[in-house]
Amino acid sequence: MGFFSKIKETLVGKSAKQNDKYVAGLDKSNTSFSSKINELAARYREIDDDYFEELENILIMSDVGVNMVMTIVDEIKKEVRLQNIRDPKEINEIIIDKMFVIYANDSYMTTKINYDSEDLTVILMIGVNGAGKTTTIAKLAHMMLNEGKTVMVAAGDTFRAGAIDQLDVWAKRLGIECVKGKEGGDPSSVVFDALKRAKEKNVDVLICDTAGRLQNKVNLMNELEKMNRIIKRVVPQGPQETLLVIDATTGQNGVSQAQEFSKITNITGLVLTKMDGTAKGGIVLSIKDALNIPVKFVGLGEQMDDLQEFDLEQYIYGLCKGLLEK
């Protein structure tokens, strides 16, 4: 049974609230993507090379990476030949199936946080300024508090004006402690103080903010290396997660950022923010193709519970809903 055929029955078992969040959060992407594919099918009486060329362009314009587009279209061509499909209106099911299968294939698919049951779990948050890192830290903390965990945050971005205060305000709203130093101070010393404090208070999770100065990669690399050394001294298995926050609305620029950060430090997962603000939801497929790092969370709105654990079926459904309804 293909993904297209089983999508509705698999989604029945998932929370209606989560279904609604994905559908609402990906509305712009779905409207843009589905309408273009449906318009393409309406313009062609039969499938030919021109049809496939236009399909490639639609996928590329939706921020699906070029290499992945070629793979998807090649797979669609094979399936069309095998099933002897002539009518473009019958191809929607295959497009959705291939997007799902190619993302899922040979992929490290875990979306779960690697919690340490024996020790403090340390999460490093990295990403350029403006990607929504501080807000994402607050939303992650909120999610973990709802799961019954105790959480502390460390204001390790000591360079951006206002970053410390911003994180502190969020911490107060959530009723958790924010360990901070002075603006312009040494971020590693803030992290060290936070580690000691989290250990003393027997906290489950410490989430550490970091500076987002990608334009000065040497400084950032040295800073992250120092932080990692300090964390390992106190928590030998830490940091258990290094999550890169990417603004989905930046499209291929976001993919480039992910590639640059992956050269600087080991990334365990991605958080894609502002998915509700982009009409090019294919960035999820593009990043997978470029880096093969799992997307762990997606931001589907501005509310605290709009940060959702990434779900491939929900994502494909949200992106392609207009194709499924035809």
Residue 5 lies in a domain: no
Q: Is 201 annotated as a binding residue?
A: no
Residue 177 lies in a domain: yes
What pLDDT is recorded for position 231? 97
299 and 212 share one domain: yes
161 and 257 share one domain: yes
Q: Is 2 annotated as a binding residue?
A: no
**pLDDT > 50? residue 224:** yes
C-alpha distances out from residue 176 to 113, 125, 204, Å: 20, 17, 12
Do 322 and 30 touch, CB atoms closer than 8 A? yes
85 and 220 share one domain: no
How large is the average pLDDT for residues 196-206? 98
Which strands make up the sheet holding 177-179, listed edge to edge? 177-179, 151-154, 205-209, 121-126, 241-247, 269-273, 295-299, 307-309
49 and 183 share one domain: no
**pLDDT > 80? residue 264:** yes
Q: How confident is the model at residue 188 (pLDDT cuts 50, 70, 90)?
A: very high
**pLDDT > 70? residue 49:** yes
Report DSSP state, residue 88.
Answer: G
172/288: higher pLDDT: 172
Task: Kindly report the CATH number assigned to the domain that includes residue 96.
Answer: 1.20.120.140
Q: Is 268 annotated as a binding residue?
A: no
Q: Is 299 annotated as a binding residue?
A: no
> Looking at the 3D structure of the chain, how many domains does it have?
2
Q: Compute the distance between CA of residue 13 and CA of residue 254 in angstroms, rounded to an integer.
A: 33
157 and 254 share one domain: yes
25 and 129 share one domain: no
Q: Is 275 annotated as a binding residue?
A: yes
Give the pair of three-digit tokens for residue 282.
């294919």
- What mean pLDDT value characterizes the chain? 89
Residue 235 lies in a domain: yes
125 and 104 share one domain: no
Residue 181 lies in a domain: yes
What pLDDT is recorded for position 225? 93
Which residue shows structure tokens 């993302």? Answer: 103
Report how far Cα 297 is from the mean position of its chain's Cα atoms: 5
Q: Which of 312, 281, 323, 307 is nearest to 125 (CA)?
A: 307
Q: Is 180 annotated as a binding residue?
A: no
Residue 49 lies in a domain: yes
Q: Is 77 annotated as a binding residue?
A: no
Report DSSP state, residue 142.
Answer: H
Q: Is 132 annotated as a binding residue?
A: yes
- DSSP string over 210-274: ----TTSHHHHHHHHHHHHHHHHHHSTT--SEEEEEEEGGGTHHHHHHHHHHHHHS---EEEEE-
Q: Compute the distance between CA of residue 239 and CA of residue 134 in angstroms, rounded to an integer.
A: 18
Task: Kindly report the CATH number assigned to the domain that includes residue 171.
Answer: 3.40.50.300
Q: Is 38 annotated as a binding residue?
A: no
Q: Is 150 annotated as a binding residue?
A: no
Residue 283 lies in a domain: yes
Instruction: Give the structural domain span for 186.
Output: 121-311
Q: Is 228 annotated as a binding residue?
A: no
What pLDDT is recorded for position 1? 47
Interior angle at CA 247, CA 4 and CA 121, nearest 5: 90
76 and 19 share one domain: yes
